[in-house]
Structure 1
Amino acid sequence: MKKLKQIPIVLLLLCVTLGYAQQTPAPKQSKDFAIVGATAHIGNGTVIENSIIVVSNGKITAIGPESSTAMTNQALDIIDAKGQHVYPGFIVGNGTLGLVEVDAVKASNDLSEMGTYNPHIRSIIAYNAESKIIESMRPNGVLLGQVVPRGGRITGTSSVVQYDAWNWEDAAIKMDNGIHINWPSSFSRGRWWLGEDPGLKPNKNYAKQVKELADYFNEAKSYDNGTKTERHLPFEGLAGVFNGSKHVYINVDDEKGITDAVNFAKSQSITKITIVGGYQAANVANFLKQNDVSVFLQRVHTRPELEDDDYDYSYKQAKALVDAGVLVALEPSGQMERMNSRNLPFYAGTTVAHGLTKAQALQLITQNAAKILGIDDMYGTLESGKSATLFISEGDALDMRTNIISKAFIDGRDLSLETHQTKLWKRYSNKYSQQD
């Protein structure tokens, strides 16, 4: 009986904890507004000084220079942004935000499923819109992301979400549109803990593993073309790959693996292909361009992997791919990937220091990412008719010293920029400011 009396107390504490963890999602836009006087970075290479951006019903209805853009609605709320900058919401590709809260707590980890081939697994239904980590993205301008499962040869199906929602249904803006493959590695390292040489050596099972993947695709294609007297959910999960409704993302880093993966996809008549990671993608940039293959480039702040690579190898990869005409965007994978997603704009900023213009670097996390994810009809650039998913920064949003967000909007909804971190900062700032 004593334990039963404790249940309401536990539930109350849980509710308080959850309320503290996540800001209430912003309500739907109720009144038209205009952002006036800011430098507008469109996301497609264009910059408009002293701009006007008019927003109605969650969409941009007018954008242009202040001198030539009329504001027809006199009831507009005016946001004076003179001296500030407006950007499209930044987009995280190949992310796992919302799938794990605490790595050490199994019940909060929905990152991967058991099994080798899981094309039918939907990451979106495991997405936790109330994650503490997600709310920490918004103060850096990161407002959209791809939710990607991990594990196995075919890891599952991804969706694209916006980062201010009650639940996964509210968050989803593009459902189940990507299939993710972990390509077999053509090289392997010795198991040093067993006394083996830890250096790279050819993977003896590489050809066998590639054949197994090809056989699986062929079986799925036969099933798709067959009578389907008995349901096979994994094979059904691949149907969109063959009819072109799903994009295929292939995680592969080495030059040979990238070439083999693209040729494999072409042999399966797959038309929508993106290389994810792509450590040596710049070595085959012309091949990728010729085959219309895009790249989600691995985290820029990564050390060289091979002893004869330049010290700044990872920093200048993006420029090499852009110069070759490859459609390239950035992704944050690696250690602490979920937390590092908030640093996406600063990864783009690093590419500026290594050859790209600021406009080109911005495209890596806005327009290009939107094109790869198939959401560029509504997101990724500031254009009339598109979603008003944008933010206002006091300075250059690609520089961590000046990326100070004063306002952020998703579909015209005015977002809270409060997070667990900002609350702690205010709390302890007050504590120490009161001391003698």
Structure 2
Amino acid sequence: MSKINLYIMMLFLVIAGNSTAQQTPAPAQSQPITIVGATAHVGNGKVIKNSLIIIENGKITELIEANLTKRQYPGKVINAEGKHVYPGFIAPNTTLGLVEIAAVKATDDEDEMGEILPNIRSLIAYNAESKIVESMRPNGVLLGQIVPRGGMVSGTSSIVQFDAWNWEDAAVKVDDGLHINWPDSFKRGRWWRGEDPGLKPNKEYEEDIQKLSDFFAASKAYLNGSRELKNLPYLAMEEVFKGSKKVYVHVDGEKEILDLIEFKIRLELKNIVIVGGYDALDAAKELKANNIPVLVNRPHSTPNNAYEDYDKPYKLAKLLHDEGVLVGLESSGQMERMNTRNLPFYAGTVAAFGMDKEDALKLITSNNAKILGIDKNYGTLEEGKSATLFISEGDALDMRTNILSHAFIDGREISLETHQTELWKRYSNKYKAQESK
């Protein structure tokens, strides 16, 4: 076989193996939907047993106790007695839809060349037909913040819902925030350059902060000037200075967090959010005083330092909450796109280590909605808000009982089938078939 024919055959196999497309997005809601009898977890700490939820035109129009009313229910009626209803879970700081296969460069669109790129927009690179994105829905993760990576200023994120034809249909909040990777005051030597791999002070730390300060100052000067020559990075900063675009700063150390707070005050930045915040508890008083929320990294990890409690990652969100800091959960890190589906179980782990279960639920619903600025329509089950919710057979924060029977995004009943559920159904009877022979 010639090399050309071999390449053609390999290409055919690749195309055939990936021919199954995403589930077709659900059509707009065409009739009222009434959910009766479920325990409704509102997402703000409140629980309504034996609830009645009515959905019309994509909105929740009624949410009360079912035993308070005796009338004919409108439209399609779902008997959810013994089940639980939750607002759709929200995943901040994710690269879902930007990378499909990490080892295949053509499917990796999470980073751009350059250090300071506020004008880079993640939304236009978002792949709404990603097979990884559709695998979020069976666990109740229905919305996410799509974030670029790399550089000192990575670019601008947007918030999407996970049932759409394309990025235009998916968009919930466009260009919601700017993402900055704050420099580390300590760093390890680069062994590939012959440097000592041990941890040592970063001699370039102050220089890097000054570089960031200079960029903010230059942007402000440009925006206050004639703007005679178009400068896309500077123009992208306009909404930041107005306060309508949040600044998400990816930072972990206590010194770095305190330096960031000083940076915020000096530059009069209005909406700062810390992403990661591993040592945020050491600066909790300053964070609360400056009204800075924290998106804590997933708790399923080990401590960074040998002298720390083994369960520090598990209880960090609770401890910050106890200090009065607004806290949400995010899931970045190793295999982050796949692991984002575990978002409800991260909240369940926080609950297992001392946080009230409904407060832990808030970490991935109302708190995340507030931090991302979409709480007007999402994050809780309330009359007038988007009917983005799901029905679970049991506790949605427990992987054993988080079994969805129905899910809705803006009132549209979405498919819970994915390529993974199809494979599960295909192979679940494999050994039964062999035994029958």
Length-normalised TM-score, structure 1:
0.95
Residue 195 of structure 1: CA displacement?
A: 5.7
The residue that corresponds to 2:320 in the other structure is: 321
* Alignment-derived partner of residue 51 in structure 2: 51
Q: What is residue 40 of structure 2 aligned with on the other side?
A: 40
Residues 1:266 and 2:265 aligned together: yes
Q: Is the alpha carbon distance of 1:43 and 1:19 closer, same or farther for their aligned partners in structure 2, counting shifts above 3 Å?
A: farther
Map 1:1-400 to 2 at 5 A.
14=15, 20-69=20-69, 74-193=73-192, 196-400=195-399
Per the alignment, in what secondary structure is the counterpart of residue 93 of structure 2? strand
| Residue 19 of structure 1: how far off its partner (Å) | 5.6
User: 1:209-238 CA distances to partner (integer Å, 9 max, x unpaired)?
Assistant: 101100010000000100001010001011
Shift of 1:50: 0.3
Output the CA distance in 2 between the equivalents of 1:183 and 1:13.
Answer: 40
Q: Give, in angstroms, the shift of residue 242 of structure 1.
A: 0.5
What secondary structure is seen at the aligned counterpart in 1 of 2:68?
coil
Residues in 1 aligned to 2:194 and 2:157: alpha-carbon distance in whole angstroms = 39
- Alignment check: 8 A CA contact 1:54 1:71 kept: no
Residues 143 and 159, structure 2, Cα contact 8 Å, conserved in 1? yes
| Displacement of 1:426 | 0.8
Per-residue deviation, 1:204: 1.0
Is the CA contact (8 Å cut-off) linking 1:62 and 1:69 kept in structure 2?
no
Question: Which digits, 9 at most, give the CA deviation of each residue in 1:256-300, with x for residues without a partner?
Answer: 001111221221111111000100011111110000000110111
In 1, Cα distance between the equivalents of 2:195 and 2:309? 28
> 1:11, CA displacement in angstroms?
9.2
Aligned-pair Cα RMSD in Å: 2.0
Residue 71 of structure 1 and its aligned partner are, at CA, apart by 5.6
SS for the counterpart of 1:21 is: coil
Corresponding residue SS for 2:265: helix
Aligned partner of 1:167: which letter? Answer: N
Unaligned runs of 5+ in 1: none
- Deviations along 1:324-343, one digit per CA (max 9) or x if unpaired, are 11111000011000000000
In terms of mean alpha carbon deviation, does 102-111 or 392-401 score higher? Answer: 102-111
AA of the residue aligned to 1:168: W
- Counterpart Cα distance in 1 of 2:34 and 2:84: 14
Secondary structure of 2:226's counterpart equals coil
Deviations 1:169-221 (A, max 9, x none): 00000000100000011110123455644332211110111011000100000
* Displacement after TM superposition at 1:13 (Å): 8.5
Secondary structure (helix, strand or coil) at the match of 1:107 reads helix
Query: Distance between the aligned counterparts of 2:71 and 2:123, measured in 1?
Result: 39
**Deviation digits for residues 123-168 of structure 1 (CA, Å, limit 9, x no counterpart):** 0000000000001000000000000000111000000000000000
Cα deviation 1:28-77 (Å, max 9, x = unaligned): 111101110000000000000000000001100000111225667x5421
CA separation of 1:121/1:254 partners in 2, compared to 1, >3 Å: closer, same or farther?
same
Q: Distance in 1 between matches of 2:192 and 2:243?
A: 45
Q: 8 Å contact 1:34–1:78 — kept in the other structure?
A: yes
Report the residue type matching 1:330 in the other structure.
Answer: L
Percent identity, aligned pairs only, is 61
SS in 2 for 1:369: helix
Contact 1:40 1:86 in 2 (8 A): yes
Secondary structure, counterpart of 1:44 in structure 2: coil
SS at 2:26's partner residue? coil
For 1:165, give the aligned amino acid: A
Q: CA deviation at 1:431?
A: 2.4
Q: Which amino acid aligns with 2:189?
A: G
Could you tell me which residue of structure 1 aligns to residue 423 of structure 2?
424
Q: Which amino acid aligns with 1:417?
A: L
Q: Is the 8 A contact 1:295 1:329 kept in 2?
A: yes
Residue 12 of structure 1: CA displacement? 12
Deviation at 1:249, TM superposition (A): 0.2
TM-score normalised by structure 2 residue count:
0.95
Q: Which amino acid aligns with 1:148?
A: V
Q: Residues 388 and 95 from structure 1, CA distance in 2 versus in 1: closer, same or farther, beyond 3 angstroms?
A: same
Quick check: 1:63–1:69 contact (8 Å CA) kept in 2?
no
Gaps of 5+ in 2: none
Contact 2:34 2:74 in 1 (8 A): no
